[in-house]
């Protein structure tokens, strides 16, 4: 596609429910990144994919968070048993190749998650 | 562990003023540094990317410099305009078990007309 597409753009869920956030990267981009941004805060790295593999999952806050990427394209971030502290904007980004220093990262508009 | 710090956290200037935003990072083993702009309720837009072998990049009224050895970068904005009002984030590309980009908390800029 023309840009990084994320869905849903807004999600309100009840505490304890599971949510899935989807990211469709720019066509041809092999690297995909997930970040979390809490209100008024900077970006917190969660996980990145190079192709379908995730070399670094160290940023996932707990075992309630998981992510997958299939076919080297769309990625899904799943949060199980949501808690109020999970409320944040979840930003997805992609780039041509994570290992090349000249590759700019392009961000989607984010998925705004509110846990009530 | 790579940490990125941006100073100041917020800045308010009158229109037309030249200004400098600062970014520092703790580990000089980076492969690039990027400056992004974020408007309220929006995603991030890349402004400039400096590879680790480069010293600066320019785009229009923006100039970014990189001093890897001292762990510093500056974003210079010339002749600021109200439309420049946004949050500016600095991010370094680093390799720790995989290539990833670490962000600072940002500088919130307000340009008064």
The per-residue pLDDT string of chain A (116 residues; one tens digit each, 9 = 90 and over) reads 579 999 999 999 999 999 999 999 999 999 999 999 988 778 999 998 989 998 888 889 999 999 999 888 999 999 999 999 999 999 999 998 767 777 888 999 999 999 99
Give the number of other CB atoms < 10 A from CB of residue A64: 14
Average pLDDT over residues B52-69: 95
Task: Report the run of H or E that residue A21 belongs to, with start and end.
Answer: strand A19-24
CA distances from B54 to A40, B17, B27, B92 (A): 32, 27, 17, 14
Average pLDDT over residues B92-104: 82
Q: How far apart are CA B107 and CA B89, in angstroms?
A: 7
Enumerate chain B positions whose Cβ falls within 8 A of a Cβ in A. 31-32, 34, 36, 42-46, 49, 51-53, 89, 91, 93, 96-106
Q: List alpha helices for chain A, DSSP H.
A: none
Average pLDDT over residues B16-35: 95
Identify the pLDDT of residue A39.
Answer: 81
Identify the pLDDT of residue A6.
Answer: 97
Identify the pLDDT of residue A1.
Answer: 52
Identify the pLDDT of residue B97.
Answer: 61
Q: Is the pLDDT of residue B69 over 60?
A: yes
Identify the pLDDT of residue B39.
Answer: 93
Identify the pLDDT of residue A37.
Answer: 93
A58 to chain B: which residues are within 8 Å by CB?
97
User: Any idea of the CA torsion for B22, B28, B34, B35, to the nearest 10 degrees?
Assistant: -10
Number of helices (H) and strands (E) in chain A: give both, helices first: 0, 11
When the pLDDT of each residue in chain B is averaged and rounded to a whole number, the result is: 93
Partner-chain contact B103 A42, CB within 8 Å = yes
Identify the pLDDT of residue B12.
Answer: 97
**Residue B102's closest CA among A6, A105, A27?**
A105
Say if CB A108 and CB A23 are below 8 A apart: yes
Identify the pLDDT of residue A57.
Answer: 83
Residue that is written with structure tokens 């990427």 in the block? A69
pLDDT digits (tens, 9 = 90+) for B45-55: 999 999 999 99
- The model's confidence at residue B41, banded by pLDDT at 50, 70 and 90, is confident
Classify residue B109 as left (phi > 0), alpha (psi -120 to 50) or beta. Answer: beta
- The model's confidence at residue B65, banded by pLDDT at 50, 70 and 90, is very high
Partner-chain contact A45 B52, CB within 8 Å = no
Q: Is the pLDDT of residue B99 over 80?
A: no
């Amino acid at each position: 596609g023309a840009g990084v597409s994320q869905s849903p753009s807004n999600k309100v869920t009840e505490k304890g429910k599971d949510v899935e956030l989807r990211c469709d990267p720019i066509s041809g981009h092999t690297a995909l990144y997930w970040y979390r941004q809490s209100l008024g805060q900077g970006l917190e790295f969660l996980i990145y994919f190079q192709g379908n593999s995730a070399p670094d999952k160290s940023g996932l806050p707990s075992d309630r968070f998981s992510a997958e990427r299939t076919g080297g394209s769309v990625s899904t971030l799943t949060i199980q048993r949501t808690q109020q502290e999970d409320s944040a904007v979840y930003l997805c980004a992609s780039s041509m190749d994570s290992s090349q220093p000249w590759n700019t990262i392009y961000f989607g508009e984010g998925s705004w998650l509110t846990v009530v | 562990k790579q940490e990125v710090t941006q100073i100041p956290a917020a800045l308010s200037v009158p229109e037309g003023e030249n200004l400098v935003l600062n970014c520092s990072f703790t580990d000089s083993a980076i492969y690039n540094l990027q400056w992004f702009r974020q408007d309220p309720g929006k995603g991030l837009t890349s402004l400039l990317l400096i590879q680790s072998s480069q010293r600066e990049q320019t785009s229009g009224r923006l100039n970014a410099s990189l001093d890897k050895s001292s762990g510093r970068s500056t974003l210079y904005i010339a002749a600021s305009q109200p439309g420049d009002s946004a949050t500016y984030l600095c991010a370094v590309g680093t390799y720790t078990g995989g290539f990833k980009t670490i962000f600072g908390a940002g500088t919130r800029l307000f340009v008064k007309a």
